[in-house]
Structure 1
């Protein structure tokens, strides 16, 4: 195993493109959590990848999920509910804190949201911080932080628009406008996309799956063979989405910044069925729906941001936010989508704020205090004949951090936080289990309401040599409180445990980066994660006890490495390689293997701009090795490894217009995101963009 860690190092590279573009916008600087002007930040002691707006454009990534799929150590899949999910170094999306401009972004039951609902049109860059994020980010950063930084205007007025088309009556339109007038700023963006669905690979193997029907009564089970997908256009894969956002700000002077951001996102989408097996359950629960549709997946909110320098030594930065989310899932009797079996709904809101105090008593030392607090409300109903179940919780964090540079070129950062979590309301519906009245509403019961707390820390250092070689190392203890789904979800009598403990991980990283003149840059980083009290959703297969349990312990070790080359003018070559070795070390384990973590992953890309005509050609490829999806003895399953290639050609016409064509999955390779969830086949896009 040790040998295989180091054999492929020569093949590796950083992800982000070099250099800045004349884009007409700049990153929203209040979107960063850590405030320390002109000084090193915590992300320089951790493994950090940055996806810029130029990267997004070069890969023709329309959503945050698509943009993240090209980052080292990141795996993006789509499965149940037709929802994109992200994992980093084996940490699932609920174990990673996702933020937009420093504000937490999630749905309160599962702790995640569909990142395909967030358009990239308004994004300046995406920061991925692994291993040792600052304690100032707050709670639930066990696997790291992904912070999406949006755009704000420069001194020059800016307007852009684009229109794209693809197969199956798919089209996409977007427009942005921003301007700074004296002390006033504003930035507006709108995106609309509609599609009749997407095509499977021509190599898709048509096969029979299993339909298990508990519809009449849960113990009167019928099982039949059925073909859920016969190839061509993926059944029930149509969608329609809109994103609208506006930011308005005032900067009276260089020491004062105040902004308000408004956003609205809505999506309607089909839910393609699993191709291997589906179940239809008796009321009120319809899980693994055979045919279902999400008629609304909506979010709206308002964020307030402020930064005020009180003196040369003291800066305050604050945020307030209020977000609402709702989504519905309609389950149908059959693929005709005529007869509705059930209509389930979620209604959520989260509200809170944060305050960071940055005090610099001397030139070489900075002390930061961070406070964050938010409340979550979740309401759900499995079918409309029932009242809403109600859940409410609160999460808070107090963090203290010290950054000092007493020795030239050496930065040391240490932080400590106290995080807490409390459920204050948990009411669940009780329904009849009697044969004649099965599913009838009987009332609501109050459930156990847990509270938990953790102390987390991080410490790290980086040193910059005279030749711009940088080395860094860090150690951190990070945790994640259980989600409402883990605590309370009830699909059967064994699911959900309100007594679960928080998950913890000891994270260690060490890395280096170095430029080699003006033609090459290389990066290398080792990581080690020891996870304790990991929440296993499948429980113990040995004992047959399938409710969520805390297990000890899972260990993940590996490395990321990368190289970026500039062999000739206007040619950029890059590649990155991630090796991840994960082992289940818990006492009740049924296998040493861990599901959902590819052992090896490559990203390769090339960009070349033809002289004179300025045609820009972008090519990128990615490789993912096989992934375990089930390690139960006698039924071990895995996904095959695959290569995926994409390309884009862009032709500018003068200063203001560009035409482009793009191909995703260029060679139409067949692969699966998960068991029974085939991925998209080849697709082509063509478009035009204007800016002035």
Structure 2
């Protein structure tokens, strides 16, 4: 009888720990159903995996992380690039947005056509936290987490009536306004978020020069750099008892942006583009139901729609639109999908999870200016089955094992042949507790994959390329060793060594083709092929130190070395070799807080087209300082005054696209 009671007691304890973890998240206003890695079998603060970073709402706000790209750039292992399409691209240990998909409340958010997402279009005003998982990202996220996953977790109210209002202004005629309202009742809750973030331009840095033969940026502000983003989020939830929850969420985004013109020394790359709309709708349902003493059933069902229009113009006056086979370009994408996840803690020391997922992606590319050009329709179906087991090996040891199998079927592919491909993924994570106080050592080994996107397989690159419907998935083998916890009094930190080896890397290569196939007089075409092998390795360090009462410092450092193992003459680009984000914070009184930041990087290499051949350039390293003063005359009101790029430094994250110069800002917020 005693032997029978022990596993029952352990299973009950696991469920209690799970409810405790959920309660802790709820107390922070976090929508716990929107997380993926919360575990009931182990009391990990915040529920994150060993190599997962978590940005709270307070951390996002303290460094003016108004967009997701700005917010996550302060984390070790993360680098931001601002491309020629006026969009933010986030790299995690050298992996881009196609290889590190983004989710909102666990629902995939990326664009079906190319797998990318513009992180500058996603504001953070209605988020409770952002989670960035790396090599050891849970397989429960679903397919394509080759280099990790980013989950945007929304808010959940904790009181009968609560909310906040925010208003701000910045250089470049930037305006922002946001309001969040929430209500938590005995059996239901509701959350509403409204926000707007607009800018006419941004100030150019001191000493800036436009190198084009016909310069477009000769004043003090960047031309065609406007952006307007609106966001509505709504969530209604039912909580009929202490263990069950059902939530319906809706998010509407409306965006509009210009494309600043290239200002570098290349003779190519000059484009006069604008997006009159960049819109997204997401409707999703998430539920969690306890079945008996040992089982929990969780479901996610979603419908996502994305549409945009790209217009090209003849010159910088933006008066004459180009109308041809490529412009204007209108995208109409949609996704529908579901995930069913079952968790069981009947076996002592185990929390077993099994997930089934289905996702159908549709893409339509059309040219409304020429009705003779038929719309191009594409449809992919992706399915996955995943299992993970959280195993408690004793008082100080934990083990997580996971295995998944994914399949992608091309159901409709315009005029090209359809096809199918599959991939298997695995992850193992071992964690050792080091004497309490949250100190841990961990090791991660993982095999992850990414399916080729519709664009990878079928895009003709405006007549310059051949499709390749037989592309195979990319794969990566990861190893990571790390420490995290409290190394000494008043400090908390984390250190990690990582190594990733990528095979079947998709790269564009030139192949023989019939005359004039890809341009007049050309006998070659570009084509995406699985020819690449690469290696990413590096070091991450993060430390927060309380120096004295009211005085603290923090730093996050990344060293990243990437190498093309297939062809060392073809370099891997767009990420810095070294990156540092540091901050010093001082609160001289209860009402005042001062914060100084330093962002520095070195060793970023980018592609450069010299008119004959594609080559590479090393961008200059830089250090950019920021200052912010916060005044809180009362607990529910705060006023921020600050400046970014204090020294008005001319620096770039992509060649020919200067980052903003000195930017002044003011923000006020009121909580109730």
TM-score, normalising length from structure 2? 0.89
Q: Residue 205 of structure 1: CA displacement?
A: 2.2
Q: Which has the higher contact order (CA 8 A, sep 6+)?
A: 1
Q: Residue 289 of structure 1: CA displacement?
A: 6.3
C-alpha contact (below 8 Å) 1:77/1:673 kept by paired residues: yes
Cα distance change on mapping 1:24 and 1:256 into 2, 3 Å = closer
Correspondence for 1:101: 105
| Mapped partners of 2:466, 2:267: distance in 1 | 17
| Mapped partners of 1:145, 1:619: distance in 2 | 30
C-alpha contact (below 8 Å) 1:292/1:331 kept by paired residues: yes
C-alpha contact (below 8 Å) 2:559/2:579 kept by paired residues: yes
Q: Residue 604 of structure 1: CA displacement?
A: 0.4
C-alpha contact (below 8 Å) 2:505/2:533 kept by paired residues: yes
| Mapped partners of 1:623, 1:489: distance in 2 | 37
Correspondence for 2:4: none
Cα distance change on mapping 1:168 and 1:602 into 2, 3 Å = closer
SS of alignment partner, residue 448 of structure 1: coil
Correspondence for 2:596: 619
Correspondence for 1:30: 33
Correspondence for 2:628: 648
Which digits, 9 at most, give the CA deviation of each residue in 1:499-519, with x for residues without a partner?
A: 211100001111012314441
Correspondence for 2:322: 341
Which digits, 9 at most, give the CA deviation of each residue in 1:552-604, with x for residues without a partner?
A: 31011111112210121222211121111111111x4424x422231111110
C-alpha contact (below 8 Å) 1:375/1:394 kept by paired residues: yes
C-alpha contact (below 8 Å) 1:171/1:193 kept by paired residues: yes
Which digits, 9 at most, give the CA deviation of each residue in 1:148-168, with x for residues without a partner?
A: 111110034212111111233
Correspondence for 1:260: 248
Q: Residue 551 of structure 1: CA displacement?
A: 2.2
Q: Tell me whether 1:477 sits opposite 2:447 in the alignment.
A: yes
How many residues align? The count is 628
C-alpha contact (below 8 Å) 2:636/2:671 kept by paired residues: yes
Q: Residue 190 of structure 1: CA displacement?
A: 0.4
| Mapped partners of 2:258, 2:206: distance in 1 | 21
Match for residue 416 of structure 1 among 403, 407, 419: 403
Match for residue 275 of structure 1 among 263, 266, 285: 263
Segments of structure 2 that go 5 or more residues without pairing to the other structure are: 1-22, 513-522
| Mapped partners of 2:28, 2:394: distance in 1 | 36
Alignment of 1:95-244 (within 5 A): 95-208=99-212, 225-244=213-232
SS of alignment partner, residue 61 of structure 1: coil
Cα distance change on mapping 1:229 and 1:450 into 2, 3 Å = farther
Segments of structure 1 that go 5 or more residues without pairing to the other structure are: 1-19, 209-224, 281-287, 428-445
| Mapped partners of 1:675, 1:21: distance in 2 | 45
| Mapped partners of 1:33, 1:262: distance in 2 | 19
Q: Residue 136 of structure 1: CA displacement?
A: 1.3
Correspondence for 2:426: 457
Correspondence for 1:663: 643
SS of alignment partner, residue 42 of structure 2: coil
| Mapped partners of 1:353, 1:168: distance in 2 | 42
Cα distance change on mapping 1:154 and 1:347 into 2, 3 Å = same
Cα distance change on mapping 1:497 and 1:382 into 2, 3 Å = farther
Correspondence for 2:338: 353
Match for residue 50 of structure 1 among 51, 54, 58: 54
Correspondence for 1:637: 617
Cα distance change on mapping 1:269 and 1:634 into 2, 3 Å = closer
SS of alignment partner, residue 26 of structure 1: coil
SS of alignment partner, residue 640 of structure 1: coil
Q: Residue 387 of structure 1: CA displacement?
A: 2.7
Alignment of 1:302-341 (within 5 A): 302-341=283-322
TM-score, normalising length from structure 1? 0.87
Q: Residue 65 of structure 1: CA displacement?
A: 0.9
| Mapped partners of 1:401, 1:167: distance in 2 | 48
Cα distance change on mapping 1:25 and 1:512 into 2, 3 Å = closer
Correspondence for 1:684: 664
C-alpha contact (below 8 Å) 1:204/1:231 kept by paired residues: no
| Mapped partners of 1:569, 1:375: distance in 2 | 54
Cα distance change on mapping 1:279 and 1:152 into 2, 3 Å = farther
| Mapped partners of 1:657, 1:458: distance in 2 | 45
Which digits, 9 at most, give the CA deviation of each residue in 1:360-412, with x for residues without a partner?
A: 11341111101111000000124520232111001111011111113222110
Correspondence for 1:404: 391
Match for residue 391 of structure 1 among 363, 368, 378: 378
Correspondence for 1:213: none
Match for residue 96 of structure 2 among 92, 95, 104: 92
SS of alignment partner, residue 548 of structure 2: coil
